[in-house]
């Protein structure tokens, strides 16, 4: 015959087991969503020294990251480095507005790398009279205006993936309209 201690432990064990199963299902769903959005997760093996360097780069390049763990941070930094390499070495920017966007990106990236806050970067660009390239969704081109740089503008040009998208769209639409 079961005693009172065994009976009182049973609901607690069942609750713990339910929570464990729910956690497994949640993790499975998250993995599936990540795989659907980014593709299959591929481990990147690297030396401890390389990981340490990657962490140092993360501290310099992480502008407004929301990653929760070291693996997510490393993944974001690798994506950032790939995008930076692409912008600097492979991306064509033949149109003058594309070149202005690229040069502006470089100024902002350097200031971010130096650890300057967005509002300080905006003040410096305003003081220097740097024109603001922005993306016109309707035409798919970069339009340049003279105005006041804002924190949002700095955040836009701190996002390498977005800068690539803007310049590629501008180049494509500029060439299409030239024909």
Three-state DSSP class for residue 37: helix
Residue with tokens 């305003």: 126
CB burial of residue 42 (10 Å; 0-12, 13-18, 19+): exposed
- Per-residue pLDDT tens for 56-109? 887 777 555 566 677 777 778 888 889 999 999 999 889 999 999 999 999 999
Q: Taking the mean position of all CA atoms in its chain, how far away is CA 28?
A: 24
Residue with tokens 């339009």: 143
Cβ distance 54 to 74 under 8 Å?
A: yes
Q: Which residue, 93, 172, 167, 100, is CA-closest to 133? A: 100
Q: Specify the length of the chain in residues.
A: 179
Distances in Å between the alpha carbon of 72 and those of 47, 91, 158, 179?
18, 26, 19, 44
- Per-residue pLDDT tens for 53-68? 888 887 777 555 566 6
């Amino acid at each position: 015959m079961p005693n009172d201690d065994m009976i009182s432990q049973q609901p607690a064990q069942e609750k713990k087991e339910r929570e464990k199963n729910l956690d497994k299902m949640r993790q499975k769903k998250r993995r599936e969503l990540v795989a659907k959005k980014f593709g299959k997760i591929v481990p990147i093996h690297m030396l401890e020294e390389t990981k340490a360097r990657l962490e140092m780069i993360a501290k310099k390049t992480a502008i407004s990251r929301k990653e929760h763990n070291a693996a997510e941070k490393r993944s974001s930094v690798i994506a950032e480095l790939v995008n930076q390499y692409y912008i600097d070495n492979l991306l064509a920017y033949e149109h003058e507005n594309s070149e202005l966007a690229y040069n502006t990106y470089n100024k902002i990236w350097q200031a971010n790398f130096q650890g300057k806050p967005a509002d300080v970067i905006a003040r410096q660009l305003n003081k220097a009279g740097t024109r603001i390239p922005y993306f016109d969704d309707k035409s798919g081109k970069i339009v340049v205006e003279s105005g006041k740089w804002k924190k949002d503008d700095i955040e836009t040009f701190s996002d390498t993936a977005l800068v690539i998208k803007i310049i590629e769209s501008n180049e494509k639409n500029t060439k299409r309209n030239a024909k």
